[in-house]
Amino acid sequence: MEWLGRWWRQPDHYDWLSAYLTTRGLQRVTRAFMVAVMAALGAAPLVLLLSPHGPQGHVARGLSLAAGGACLVMAVAWAARWPTRGQSLAFVMVADAGIAAACLVQPAPGGGLQACTAFAVLGGYVAFFHTSRTLLLVVTTALTTAAVSAVHLVIQGGVYEAVSKLLIVSAGVVAAPFAAHVLVHFLGIDALRSDVDPLTDLLNRRGFHRSMRALVAESVADRAAVVSAVMIDLDAFKRVNDTSGHATGDQILVEVAEILRRTRRGDSVIGRIGGEEFVVGVVGARRDAVGLAERMRHEIAATPWRVTASVGVASASVTRVPDEGIRSFVQGLLESADRAMYAAKRDGGDRVRATSPAAERTGARRPSVYPDGFVERPTPSRTTASSGKVPWTIADRAFDGAEANSTIAAAAMDPAPAKTSAAPTAVPPEIVTPTPTAVTTARKRL
């Protein structure tokens, strides 16, 4: 029974499988498939209401209408965006209850049993993305609903028909989901997790770069305005390993990874790309990205180990990025965020520094000037295409208005005030290099 215990305790697959679909460019196709499935499940009970053989009575018709409407709402939600883990679980719970209700209100003999086959689709989704416990809940609901429907058929005299249909439906709603679960866990686990960091279950460097390119490509297709990279490096982490041991260091890294998952938004990817360096790619306004970075910094500082982080944010417009330039665009964005992160570290750590694109027409670098006095001197503009003249050159410049100070920009978004007056955190000289290196340089000490 040991294998059963391991199966029961296995974590869900949502984050890394979502990242895998993004990396392979399959997330949009998966969303389209889910929209089609949910639209079909929503339309079926609504169409049946038009039939004289459909659900009878106000309660039965009301339940059928509610189940169909809920499925159609979820179809619209899937069409809008890829859900978070919590939203996905809510979708599973609502769909589970809706399918059960639609099956139990069927007046025709055997109609409820036939409708129970819809549980196989929901169970397959849960098997791929969620835990064994969630899968068991869906399968239990399916079998219970099928048994109740079979009893209704027996009462009407169809004993053998009820037994036959119950066996067929039970085999379908159990075999398909559990086969998918076995496939994910035991047959394809190595291939699916090849882009995942084994300690934190976040994307590794290769996986993050792939997912970030896919995110940018989808943003270009969806005409999203801005993509941001949030580079996070833990301050004085080498000292933690030296004084508290690597086991404590690993525990901190796992906790930081969980913080990033908890504070992320739907259109984002997260990776651990170095020993104590993390990065988040997110779609949305620059101000929102800075606010997200500040919330992450604050939650990291609030951990029991009181570790702090230097955070750099780089944002750039993707409305005019050509398909062949996405790789260079992502590389430049990450390098810009890396420079901003080192600026925060040179200023003492435990703070956020931000950059943004230069004016599209000029392509010139301007100094990044912040209210606390830090100034990054201008350096030659670095383009990200062989022509040297592209409208999406990555460069640093000052934010305007509320974007000027990252901690001020985040104050309205985070109920906890930013640490603008805290004493600078001492950073060992071996962690801060005088000249920040590109994100592609192997500079992290594991």
**Residue 387 in domain:** no
> What pLDDT, in 10s, does the model give residues 401-436?
334 343 333 333 333 333 333 333 333 333 333 333
**Residue 290 in domain:** yes
123 and 144 together in one domain: yes
**Residue 369 in domain:** no
Backbone angles phi and psi of 8, in degrees to 5: -65, -35
Task: Taking each helix axis as running N to C, give the angle between helix 205-221 and helix 14-23, from 0 to 180 degrees, rounded to the nearest 10.
Answer: 60
Q: Assign residue 228 the CATH number of its domain.
A: 3.30.70.270
142 and 256 together in one domain: no
Last residue of a domain, one of 320, 355, 390: 355
Q: Among all chains, which residue has been given the structure tokens 């790309």?
A: 273
What is the DSSP track for 365-432?
---EE-TTS-EEPP---B-SSTTS--TT-B---PPPGGGSSHHHHHHTT-SSPP-SSSPPPP--TTTS
248 and 285 together in one domain: yes
77 and 123 together in one domain: yes
167 and 213 together in one domain: no
C-alpha angle 83-266-330 in degrees, rounded to nearest 5: 130
Compare 3 and 235 and report the one with higher pLDDT. Answer: 235
Count: domains in the chain: 2
Per-residue pLDDT at 432: 33
> What pLDDT, in 10s, does the model give residues 384-393?
333 333 333 3
190 and 211 together in one domain: no
**Residue 444 in domain:** no
**Residue 285 in domain:** yes
Burial 141-157 (b: 16+ CB within 10 A, else e): bbbebbeebbebbbeee
Last residue of a domain, one of 194, 213, 230: 194
Confidence of residue 210 (pLDDT cuts 50, 70, 90): confident
178 and 232 together in one domain: no
Last residue of a domain, one of 194, 215, 248: 194
Domain that holds residue 267: 205-355
> What pLDDT, in 10s, does the model give residues 152-198?
888 887 788 889 988 998 888 888 888 887 777 665 566 556 788 88
Beta bridge partners of 227: 283, 316
Per-residue pLDDT at 190: 63
**Residue 29 in domain:** yes
216 and 154 together in one domain: no
36 and 107 together in one domain: yes
41 and 189 together in one domain: yes
52 and 89 together in one domain: yes
Predicted TM-score (pTM) of this structure: 0.54
1 and 119 together in one domain: yes
Mean of the per-residue pLDDT values of the chain? 76
**Residue 140 in domain:** yes
Contact 391, 360 (CB under 8 A): yes
**Residue 300 in domain:** yes
> What pLDDT, in 10s, does the model give residues 54-96?
788 888 889 889 999 999 999 999 998 888 888 999 999 999 9
